[in-house]
Amino acid sequence: MHVRQAHEENNAEYEAQPQAGAEPVKRGRAIVITSGKGGVGKTTTTANLGTALAQRGASVVLVDADVGLRNLDIVLGLESRVKYHLLDVLEEAAELDDALVRDKHSENLHLLAAAQAREKDEVDTEAMCDLIDELRERFDYVLIDCPAGIELGFKNAVAGADEAIVVCTPEVSAVRDVDRVVGLLGNAFRPQLVINRLRPALVKKGKMLSVDDVNAILRLPLLGVIADEPEIIVTTNRGEPLALRRDEPTGAAYHAIAARLAGEDVPAPMPPEAKESFFERLGSLFGGKRS
């Protein structure tokens, strides 16, 4: 014992574990998924990234911080299993373990749903930080689905996180809002970018901002690009995230983003380039309307 203590003192700077024999305290990553603007795909991104990370073997909890507008449970197909919600836990009306809903498809993926009939200003910021800290001790990843806006709901969602993923669509308004949110977050959150709902055919025709156009302005580390696929709507209808299907290009893209998030050196996924026939191009040259 004395030897051990002396050893610890000598190596105080090098040893990460505080106590001999004690379980090392897990320190998972708390990542907020935010965007400023609503409707760009924060919840879909959260559900799919969580699914992809869990499929990789990590333990993941998804926290729906959009109090009053609960949606993450729907996207995951867990709406019928939610008994208690975030505010129940924060107000100690329910135990955390009773409020965590295990995912249907991935057993190491859990959801802490938002309260539907409550309001965002009922969340106590300090209690939220404590809860996220507690979750970090139990899970490898705590993904926090942030509400739209930059008011209290945003502040509470961000408070406990130490990293951020910003979701942006290739639109002027979305880029502007992300720019603002990144300004509010500051460098401490090391925000990384997911470009969502890109339509390669429109980019090719010059009718949509390209990945380079968006990131020439935002200048953020790019996690990946997700195409605007009808399949995402179908999977949301069913409550089965597309990331469950790695054979689909978009499912694979979510897995690549998850790999990058985990620190793997894989290229940022890009949607396949649009193919346009020669006649289509000729048509757009002569009579095609460009709007």
Partner 1 sequence: MIDFLRKLFGGPPPSSATAKERLRLVLMTDHLALAPEMIEQMKHDLVDVISRYVEVDREKIEVNFEQQDKALAMLANIPILSVNRPSGNGDAAAAAAEEPPASPAVAHAAGAPPVRRRRRRRKAGAPAPAPSS
- The distance in angstroms from the start CA to the end CA of the chain is 77
Is 179 a residue that touches partner 1 (CB under 8 A)?
yes
Is 203 a residue that touches partner 1 (CB under 8 A)?
yes
In contact, 122 and 11? CB cutoff 8 Å:
no
Is 57 a residue that touches partner 1 (CB under 8 A)?
no
Is 277 a residue that touches partner 1 (CB under 8 A)?
no
Is 180 a residue that touches partner 1 (CB under 8 A)?
yes
Interface with partner 1 (CB under 8 A), residue from 3, 12, 16, 172 = 172
In contact, 86 and 132? CB cutoff 8 Å:
no
Show the binding pattern over residues 211-240: x = contacts partner 1 (CB under 8 A), - = does not.
Answer: --x---x-----------------------
Interface with partner 1 (CB under 8 A), residue from 133, 134, 171, 248 = 171
Binding segment toward partner 1, per CB under 8 A, in 31-39, 179-187, 222-230, 251-259: 179-187
Task: Tell me how far, at minimum, the Cβ of 44 lies from partner 1, in Å.
Answer: 23
Binding segment toward partner 1, per CB under 8 A, in 19-27, 68-76, 167-175, 221-229: 167-175
Interface with partner 1 (CB under 8 A), residue from 29, 118, 199, 205 = 205
> E strands of the chain, at which residues?
29-34, 60-64, 101-102, 109-112, 141-145, 163-168, 192-198, 222-227
How crowded is the C-beta side of 86, counted as CA atoms within 13 Å? Answer: 38
Give the neighbor-by-neighbor strand order of the sheet with 222-227. Answer: 101-102, 109-112, 60-64, 141-145, 29-34, 163-168, 192-198, 222-227
Judged by beta carbon, residue 57 or residue 288, the one nearer partner 1 is 288
Q: Determine the Cα–Cα distance for residues 12 and 170; give it in Å rounded to an integer.
A: 49
What are the Cα distances from residue 242, in Å, to 39, 173, 261?
18, 27, 18
Burial class (CB in 10 A: 0-12, 13-18, 19+), 242: buried
14 sits in the region (left: phi over 0; alpha: psi -120 to 50; else beta) called: alpha
Q: Determine the Cα–Cα distance for residues 122 and 120; give it in Å rounded to an integer.
A: 5
Size of the site for partner 1 (CB under 8 A): 22
Interface with partner 1 (CB under 8 A), residue from 60, 67, 75, 175 = 175
Q: DSSP secondary-structure letter at 120?
A: G
Task: Tell me how far, at minimum, the Cβ of 282 lies from partner 1, in Å.
Answer: 8
Interface with partner 1 (CB under 8 A), residue from 60, 87, 135, 208 = 208
Judged by beta carbon, residue 217 or residue 270, the one nearer partner 1 is 217
With CA atoms as reference, report the closest residue to 34 among 139, 137, 135, 185: 185
Judged by beta carbon, residue 14 or residue 286, the one nearer partner 1 is 286
Task: Tell me how far, at minimum, the Cβ of 174 lies from partner 1, in Å.
Answer: 10
Binding segment toward partner 1, per CB under 8 A, in 115-123, 169-177, 238-246, 248-256: 169-177
What are the Cα distances from residue 182, in Å, to 95, 149, 276?
34, 13, 36
Residues that bind partner 1 (CB under 8 A): 171-172, 175-176, 179-180, 183, 203, 205-210, 213, 217, 281-282, 285-286, 290-291
